[in-house]
Chains A and B, each alone.
Chain A
């Protein structure tokens, strides 16, 4: 445990002032955070329903085929977009708006602008979502929403949120920027750049394909991953009351991501009509990612080691730690998959679907669930009403995603081996996936149930049957003062 001499950045602050700073920061972000979380959960519900329907259609191909908007192509696309831009992005926006004011010791600047930005983002997403269901999309993976009607609203809305965060950072009262601040601001700078390039309307053919996968991979690595890692770096030490094992490693992880990640996406196009050097560069960049990934993994593990019993007490930590483990898993799996000899088997199979769900669900969504469990009681000043509902939520989604990933990874390998064997008829490569597809739908039911439990619990905490949370303790307990000599005491 670190000594007192390093317990605060900047001048020593009397305890009651620290609490005041925290209270003011929380109060300033309350409106936009609750709005972001609330709308994120609506999209989570919608995305879950569409994902479930799309999954069932894979083994009931004749189900719901008479109306265009119910066909697989639109349902699956609607699922992906609502989950990425609705659930994950909005929950990340809420988490960022809550954590940044706390870390820079300032109230959120222009919270109404942030709220308006979230509203604009939601309108853009709704427009894109309805157009997808109506059969109009841009035909690019992860970029299906209409680039003229929907995407500009996402850029404007995200920009409005980014401006409030930037203004808050500019007005900061701290000298040091904690690593979570780096991750969050990295994400808010990277995302508009990659989103605009991915949607650039003059790109055609192969160039469009390259920009598409440049975007899609970076949307995971430089947007979803960045904010989620920022949250993990905040909540693990915060709950444990101990600093991260090695702050140097945390910076290595961040700067490694910043410098190495951007060119990774081309490995999705192995075998495609792109210059070989581009693919090889991308594979090399992917392998280099092992450095920041291991830096993060070692750091999280060494922080938790000997303290895993804390998981029994902290639902937040339970979700966050599993999210952190999944980050390591999905990153190492991604590096492995980027190798040509592996990719020739796994490409175009359910392996890739499983891999993306380890990333977006087991890593990102778990980190966001954990964050929301911590943030919400501090926003509404009430405790979560039911320990049982949290437990149900946790075990339902954990068992659901575990079954999902294991089943699709296995059948992905069988499918890939069947696909590359010229002696095996194509039909066989489809048949071998059926057990995995059934398992996928069953695990989808578990995930759906888990989401319903969480949304129900969220509504309960908003309505407030649980005991109200007190003002954070010690608010009036004046004073416990830093003396700067390693000794503290109350008077």
Chain B
């Protein structure tokens, strides 16, 4: 008679092992290096330059200083008809 906990324990160990393996792989491949740079991996240049109407003048000026002249958003740019 197998203990009632066996299936859960074995699967929990498999999932934990998978997580540990992935963590070790990521560590060795440098995925935890240069963390701040990774935070920008989803952006392209256009994302930085779009003029966002909700931003304060100071924020818009900062964006202009860092990324150049702002670009006008397309209609529906922010995900929906606005």
Contact = CB atoms under 8 A, between A and B. Distances in A.
Contact of A248 (B22, B35, B43): B35
B42 A211 contact: no
Contacts of A480: 45, 49, 68
A176 B41 contact: yes
Interface in A221-259: 222, 234-235, 237-241, 243-244, 247-248, 250-251, 255, 258-259
Interface residues of B, number: 59
Contacts of B40: 2, 6-9, 243
Given A315-B82, A317-B79, A193 B15 contact: yes
Contact of A474 (B6, B20, B53, B71): B71
Given A222-B15, A241-B52, 18 more contacts: A6-B37, A7-B45, A15-B45, A102-B42, A174-B41, A193-B11, A207-B6, A210-B5, A243-B40, A251-B35, A266-B8, A275-B5, A278-B5, A313-B54, A317-B78, A373-B80, A374-B78, A390-B80
A384 interface: yes
B17 to A, nearest CB: 11
Interface residues of A, number: 93
Nearest to A235: B79
A210 B2 CA distance: 13
Contacts, number: 215
A469 B79 CA distance: 12
Nearest to B36: A6
A239 B79 contact: yes
Contacts of A390: 80-81
A251 B12 CA distance: 21
A466 B81 contact: yes
Query: Sorted from nearest, which 4 A-B pairs have the closest CB atoms?
Result: A316-B79, A315-B80, A314-B78, A374-B79
Interface in B13-70: 14-16, 18-20, 22-23, 26, 30-32, 34-50, 52-55, 59, 62-63, 66-69
B48 A241 contact: yes
B73 to A, nearest CB: 9
Given A1-B62, A18-B46, A307-B54, A383 B19 contact: no
Interface of B: 2-8, 11-12, 14-16, 18-20, 22-23, 26, 30-32, 34-50, 52-55, 59, 62-63, 66-69, 71-72, 74-76, 78-82
B10 to A, nearest CB: 8
